[in-house]
Amino acid sequence: MTYTAAKPPLPETPEQLRARIPGWGVDLDPADRPSSPKLDFRDDLTGAHWEFPDRQPEKYPRERSMEHKFLTPVFGTASPPRGVSGALRTLSYRKFSEADVAHWLILMAADRVDSMGSSFTSVLRGKPDNPITETGILGEFKARPIRDRFGRGRADTKHQWMDPLIVTTPWVLRAGVVYLVAKGLRARRD
Amino acid sequence: MRAMVYRGPYRVRVEEKDIPPIEHPNDAIIRVQMGAICGSDLHLYHGLVPDTRVGTTFGHEFIGVVHEVGSSVQNLKVGDRVMVPFNIFCGSCWFCARGLYGNCHNTNPNATAVGAIYGYSHTTGGYDGGQAAFVRVPVADVGPTLIPEWMSDEDAVMLTDALPTGYFGAQLGDIVQGDVVVVFGAGPVGLYAAKSAWLMGAGRVIVVDHIEDRLEKARTFAHAETLNFTTVKDIAVEMKKTTDFLGADVCIDAVGAEADGGFMQHVTTKLKLQGGSPIALNWAIDSVRKGGTISVVGVYGPVFSAVKFGDAMQKGLTLRMNQTPVKRQWPRLFEHVKSGVLKPSEIITHRIPLEHIAEGYHLFSSKLDGCIKPVVIPSAS
Ligand SMILES: NC(=O)c1ccc[n+]([C@@H]2O[C@H](COP(=O)([O-])OP(=O)(O)OC[C@H]3O[C@@H](n4cnc5c(N)ncnc54)[C@H](O)[C@@H]3O)[C@@H](O)[C@H]2O)c1
Ligand SMILES: [Zn+2]
Ligand SMILES: [Zn+2]
């Protein structure tokens, strides 16, 4: 009982558990658990045959966190920054550390600019976005959209329909506001 | 080659891309045989991970055949069949040398707080992922491992992330014999965590979710008791009642940033006003006993989340968490899969050709058609 020193009784004994559940207790001993202790020095370096990895050639000015001493020797080269979103991203890495929330907010803004801008340029490039196929909504026909969603105690169906809107709409609105302000400023200057 | 590409929140498509070249002498290029979609990919798909660029390819769970190797690669050769951990790690930095492969300091220039991961935004290093016909695998002498003869492809894919993460989640709970373990989330990670808790000697395992197909799987696959949180008014009270008012010894958060069950938390997360809705984490803090342990493997974003820190402090809790160092789990998990104690492929529900991946994302994200774990097959296209 909790209000005394004894642990509340369990419904099954170890013997019953062992009989019911394949493998019950095989890793009871912490020595058999691979991540204990947390920090465990490994001399083999799991196959690394260097003290410090060779440096990957930097083919364009690679953005990096200012909390790093230098560009890491290995890095990804997918989708280098480009256009307005790229300028925002570069700015965010150059001006703000990871500890500064502005860093992340600018990156999130750049993501929305990127996806809106890309929808636009995809038309120019002759590979327009197709909202029907890209959202995978046709997959609904393979499922039972009503039965799978309702009358079975799910908590997410109340908001599922509006999630894409919540994620994208405020940015559309904010972009609109920025546009109007810029236009107003220019009108005043002219 | 064909590759999945991100187009914006809730939108992906398959495009023609160049086969990735060798960028670093220790790179390998792998021809992907099978990949998977992870619950973590949903955070990207929903547009919640900062610096997710249009045109990038997702996918951090994959196996395949070595197609090309860089000049310094010694441990792999063309034609080898390999499984690749989701972490990209150098093996030699301060962190890797101490086994923290999920926290490597040499592979992610974009952030010091996060390790490098395939196909997981620029915040984790800007690498393209394996939901494609080919993928660049950096530091090829360190991460990839030959798939043992006896292991099936589907088991091998589950070993690249989901199974090690579930097992690691149970491990972080520091379970001792007879512990009452509550797992929040019955996705792949939560199911494997529940199953692993028994291996470590748990006395009771209770899985909490709101998707009935998944709770059913928790009962059959993970031999657990289950609770649909929509059927109770207050999780904390329910958990106190079922433990004679002690509370659980260990709680595991296998849900992460997109937890359901609180409308405002949900909306503020989607609006990016907080780094994640910590509903499941707060339920864990409320449900665990004083002096208990909370293990967090659910992923949260880089800005603040409204966590009940005061309660955690007052209760004297131990909070443990990390990205899983996948390869560190492998030797023990290989033994468990070989002996049949763990049968990871049993939770796979969907096998999707790469060309249909947009529908795969939609079904998995909306949790339709009983989808628990979808694998992706490039060659089936
Ligand atoms: N630490 C790591 O290395 C690592 C690796 C893989 C995945 N993850 C993270 O683990 C989490 C789970 O991954 P998954 O693949 O199982 O994802 P998933 O989306 O399939 O599963 C999440 C489950 O949580 C349920 N859920 C939602 N709100 C809940 C609540 N309030 N209480 C209880 N359950 C709730 C959902 O219904 C769903 O079944 C994700 O956040 C993912 O990013 C972490
Ligand atoms: Zn994952
Ligand atoms: Zn490292």
Given a cut of 50, the residues of chain A with pLDDT beneath it are: none
Closest CA to B139 of A42, A70, A53: A53
Give residue-wise pLDDT tens across range B60-79: 999 999 999 999 999 999 99
**C-alpha B120 – ligand 1 centre gap (Å):** 16
Query: What torsion, rounded to 10 degrees, do the Cα atoms B24, B29, B35, B39 define?
Result: 10
Please give the pLDDT value at position B193.
Answer: 98
Q: Which residues contact A140 (CB under 8 A, 6 or more apart)?
A: B362, B368
Give residue-wise pLDDT tens across range B225-245: 999 999 999 999 999 999 999
Please give the pLDDT value at position B270.
Answer: 66
Mutate to test the interface with B, among A2, A38, A44, A46 (most CBs of B within 10 A): A46
- Residue A175 is assigned to a structural domain of this protein: yes
Give residue-wise pLDDT tens across range B324-380: 999 999 999 999 999 999 999 999 999 999 999 999 999 999 999 999 999 999 986
Fold of B2-161+325-377: Quinone Oxidoreductase; Chain A, domain 1 (3.90.180)
pLDDT band at B268 (very low <50, low <70, confident <90, very high): low
The whole-angstrom separation of Cα A35 and Cα B163 is 14
Please give the pLDDT value at position A141.
Answer: 83
pTM here is: 0.94
From A45, which residue of chain B is nearest by alpha-carbon distance? B91
CB contact under 8 Å between B362 and A137, yes or no, is yes
Fold of B162-321: Rossmann fold (3.40.50)
Q: Does B127 touch chain A (CB under 8 A)?
A: yes
Beta strands, E only, chain A:
none
Please give the pLDDT value at position A189.
Answer: 65
Please report residues of A whose CB lies closer than 8 A to that of B246.
2, 7-8
Q: Is the pLDDT of residue B5 over 90?
A: yes
Closest C-alpha residue for ligand 1 atom 3? B323
- Residue A183 is assigned to a structural domain of this protein: yes
Q: Is the pLDDT of residue B264 over 80?
A: no
Please give the pLDDT value at position B200.
Answer: 98
Please give the pLDDT value at position A125.
Answer: 87
Name the A residues in 8-37 with CB < 8 Å from any B CB: 8, 10-12, 14, 17, 20-28, 30, 32-36
> Parallel, antiparallel, or unpaired: how do β-strands B28-36 and B134-137 relate?
antiparallel
Give residue-wise pLDDT tens across range B183-215: 999 999 999 999 999 999 999 999 999 999 999
Mutate to test the interface with B, among A4, A10, A16, A33 (most CBs of B within 10 A): A33
Please give the pLDDT value at position B156.
Answer: 98
Q: What is the DSSP letter of A10?
A: P
- Where are chain B's structural domains? 2-161+325-377, 162-321
Cβ < 6 Å from ligand 1: which residues? B 38-40, 42-43, 161, 165, 184-190, 208-211, 214, 229, 254-256, 259-261, 279-280, 297-299, 323-324
Helix then strand then coil, % of chain B, to nearest 5:
30, 25, 45
Give residue-wise pLDDT tens across range B6-34: 999 999 999 999 999 999 999 999 999 99
- Residue A67 is assigned to a structural domain of this protein: no
C-beta of residue A113 within 8 angstroms of C-beta of residue B333: no
- Residue A141 is assigned to a structural domain of this protein: yes
Distance from CA of A27 to the nearest CA of B (A): 5
**C-alpha B258 – ligand 1 centre gap (Å):** 8
Q: What is the mean pLDDT of residues B108-129?
A: 98
Range of the domain at A149: 130-190
Question: Helix and strand tally (H, E) in chain B?
Answer: 11, 17
Closest C-alpha residue for ligand 1 atom 5? B165
Ligand 1 atom closest to Cα of residue B322:
1
Give residue-wise pLDDT tens across range A130-141: 988 999 988 888
Which ligand has its closest atom nearest to the C-alpha of B129?
2
**N-terminal to C-terminal alpha carbon distance within chain A:** 80
Helices (H), chain B: 39-45, 153-158, 162-172, 188-199, 212-220, 235-242, 263-270, 279-287, 309-314, 326-339, 357-366
Q: Does A186 touch chain B (CB under 8 A)?
A: no
Mutation choice for ligand 1 from B88, B191, B209, CB with most ligand atoms inside 8 A: B209
| B14, two tokens | 């398959």
β partners of residue B225: B206
- Residue A169 is assigned to a structural domain of this protein: yes
- Residue A165 is assigned to a structural domain of this protein: yes
Instruction: Count up the domains in chain A and report the number.
Output: 1
C-beta of residue B366 within 8 angstroms of C-beta of residue B13: no
Please give the pLDDT value at position B240.
Answer: 97
- The interface predicted TM-score (ipTM) is 0.95
Please give the pLDDT value at position A190.
Answer: 61
| Mean residue pLDDT across chain B | 96
Q: What is the DSSP letter of A20?
A: H
Please report residues of A whose CB lies closer than 8 A to that of B206.
none
CB contact under 8 Å between A48 and B105, yes or no, is no
Distance from CA of A145 to the nearest CA of B (A): 7
**C-alpha B312 – ligand 1 centre gap (Å):** 21
> Parallel, antiparallel, or unpaired: how do β-strands B87-88 and B116-117 relate?
antiparallel
- Backbone angles phi and psi of B290, in degrees to 5: -60, 140
C-beta of residue B347 within 8 angstroms of C-beta of residue B372: yes
Please give the pLDDT value at position A160.
Answer: 81
Please give the pLDDT value at position B11.
Answer: 96
Give residue-wise pLDDT tens across range B300-309: 998 888 999 9
Q: With pLDDT > 90 as the criterion, what percentage of chain B qualifies?
A: 93
- Residue A149 is assigned to a structural domain of this protein: yes
